[in-house]
Amino acid sequence: MLVALFNAVKVESVPLNSNEFLRRALPPVNRTYDRSVGDLASIGYNGQPVRNPFRVVRPPITVLVDLTVLFPREPHRSGRYHPSGLQLHKVVEGRLTCWGICEQGDWWGLVTYPIVYGSKRKTVTHWVPAWILRRKR
């Protein structure tokens, strides 16, 4: 009788991958990060109204920009002097026209200032961290 029972049972010998085996063998896990919180809003930006990130400065303010801090040098550099190179080792006057706040909450100023190279100069405008700017007295 035992032999007849053994012959009647069909055994599958199909190999399962480890993920499929665990899914079939283990009970379902109730993970908290998969559950929704119902009608509550998720953490982060949920479409709440926010203020404009830009503040126009009218009239523009004269500020001092420390180019040595804005453009730090590589320590132990091996460069040589070039008489027509950019002069980025001084404090220059600039015109602050706008403030902007970044995603992390830091303030940046939109500043226009001259860059001297040799006996010439070009005016550049870009965002400068607020902690580098000083109001000219």
65: in domain: yes
On whether the CB atoms of residues 94 and 121 are closer than 8 A, the answer is no
Residue 59: domain span: 54-73+83-135
Other Cβ atoms closer than 10 A to 127: 13
8: in domain: no
Q: SS3 of 125, please?
A: strand
68: in domain: yes
Highest mean pLDDT among 8-22, 67-81, 84-98: 84-98
- Tokens representing 80 are 């040589």
67: in domain: yes
32: in domain: no
78: in domain: no
117: in domain: yes
Highest mean pLDDT among 4-8, 45-49, 125-129: 125-129
Tally the domains of the chain. Answer: 1
61: in domain: yes
Residues 20-37 have pLDDT tens digits of 666 676 666 666 655 555
